[in-house]
Structure 1
Amino acid sequence: MISQEDIAEHIRNIECTSSHEEQLYRILQEFTRLFPVSSAYLYRYSPLGYLSEGIMGYTSTGLVHIREYRDDIRSSPIVYAAVTERKAQFASGLDYLKQTSSKYVFGAGAGSLIIVPVCLRSLVIGYICGTELDKGTMIDEDMLPAYTLYGQLIGKLLDTYNADESSKLLSKREREVMQKIASGENTKQMAVDLGISEATVNQYVKSSVRKLGAKNRSHAVAELFRRGLIS
């Protein structure tokens, strides 16, 4: 039985990565080291249209890019169940064939499948597909919580990484201005409080909106709330 301490140790190995791309690679690598699977595939997920998109796969032969993959998760019952219930799901044999879309990219030896949702707070932002279980391995209901926990911890790890990147994105003064907007202050009040001109305040707002990829100041504030950078 895989313990929480075992999972936490593998998560710490992922934390040591220096880039987002390496982090995604290590998420799959540590997954195959921790659990009895030979291959793992990472997908991003958007609830808008139930759309999933392939990112990369990790197999015994190395890294596989699956960015050409796009699908509606409702075409694969096992994926839909994992995402909507936010719990790991397993299928094998005939059940595997019934529950899996033919569009999925798996190795020739795949005859079973485990789906692990990657959860960011109350949202599912992606999922891991584990295939090609070690010979003689069986996964029962008692084992699934360990897989679910891995997906939850990966979500927290990605959230922390994104927050760190976002905090570096804006300057200290830009964050101060956006915090004041979130608190309901107008441009004139901010200019007085910060000892700068209204034109400079507007420039900070404009640059913050651009850096965050937002449509306007309200969208930028909402994005900062979502990333936990302002309160």
Structure 2
Amino acid sequence: MIFIPTHYSVLEHVRKLEVQASHEEQLYLILDIYLKLFPTRNAFLFRYSPLGYLGEGIIQLTSTQLIHIREIRDDIRALPIIHSSIKEREAKYCSGVEHLKQISSRYVFPSNVDSMLVVPICFGPVVVGYICSTEFQEGVVFDEKILSSLSLYGKLIGKYLQSAVETDTPTLLSKRELEVMKRISQGESTKEMADSMNISELTVKQYVKTAIKKLGANNRSHAVGELFRRGIIS
């Protein structure tokens, strides 16, 4: 019999994140709790940036191993199930023929992978990441009840991550740094920003570099995603 966690149970498990000291431990626990609560056998954690619809891998967790997947960077528009889940901010599941339709032909999965579950991690209207699973317990049926529970998990995780950021907010961006990041989110190139702002390209790059550092981000896309997540830009 497949156990479906109640909303109260999900909330109680998410509260365990509050005692974790490091960011790395928190990320691990997000997937560990997920695997314990839901009938899945693997979990891939991605961050998401609306800049270029970019999904960037963080870690993969199974019952036996933890793997870093930072080399994975995808335009999620090539994966309709992920795009749909993020757009609607709801957990989505597909299998069989529907799975083939939802996956771009440029993606090659092992022959035993014929289904996918996507759980968006969101705070309000802003999606900051998502969890994917491709292996599940036997006999599980992802009906409306379990998908609702998964969606709740994604929202609680997003809310927790947001509160953690607000508790330890990095130095705010300067007016110029914020302007540059807004222009990046709108798709402007370094040259276009330099011309319109009447500054050198080197100065633009320096603003970007300091903004990324202040936001604790890894790159431009991650920084833009952080600004959307915190509601600084929309």
TM-score, length of structure 1 as denominator length: 0.70
Is it true that 1:67 corresponds to 2:70 in the alignment?
A: yes
2:193 is aligned to: none
RMSD: 3.0
1:3 is aligned to: 6
1:43 is aligned to: 46
Quote how far apart the aligned CAs of 1:94 are: 2.2
- What does 1:1-231 align with in structure 2 at a 5 Å threshold? 1-101=4-104, 109-166=112-169, 169=170, 212=214, 227=230
Q: What does the per-residue CA deviation read over 1:125-183, in whole Å, with 9 as the maximum and x for residues that have no partner?
A: 110012211011111123211111000000001001111221xx45xxx9xxxxxxxxx
Question: % of aligned pairs identical?
Answer: 48
Does the aligned pair in 2 maintain the 1:69–1:103 contact within 8 Å?
A: no
Q: CA 1:71–1:47 in structure 2 vs 1: closer, same or farther (change >3 Å)? A: same
Secondary structure (helix, strand or coil) at the match of 2:134 reads strand
Secondary structure (helix, strand or coil) at the match of 1:114 reads strand
The CA distance in 2 between the partners of 1:120 and 1:54, in whole Å, is 19
Does the aligned pair in 2 maintain the 1:14–1:30 contact within 8 Å?
A: no
The CA distance in 2 between the partners of 1:97 and 1:60, in whole Å, is 27
Larger Rg: 1
The CA distance in 1 between the partners of 2:62 and 2:110, in whole Å, is 8
Quote how far apart the aligned CAs of 1:61 are: 2.4
The CA distance in 2 between the partners of 1:106 and 1:59, in whole Å, is 17
Quote how far apart the aligned CAs of 1:103 are: 6.6
The answer for unaligned runs of 5 or more in structure 2 is: 173-209, 217-225
Quote how far apart the aligned CAs of 1:227 are: 4.7
1:202 is aligned to: none
Q: CA 1:25–1:5 in structure 2 vs 1: closer, same or farther (change >3 Å)? A: same
Does the aligned pair in 2 maintain the 1:45–1:53 contact within 8 Å?
A: yes
The answer for unaligned runs of 5 or more in structure 1 is: 175-208, 215-222
Q: Which has the higher contact order (CA 8 A, sep 6+)?
A: 2
Quote how far apart the aligned CAs of 1:60 are: 2.4
The CA distance in 2 between the partners of 1:18 and 1:8, in whole Å, is 19
Quote how far apart the aligned CAs of 1:59 are: 1.1
TM-score, length of structure 2 as denominator length: 0.69
Structure 2 letter corresponding to 1:18: A
Quote how far apart the aligned CAs of 1:107 are: 7.1
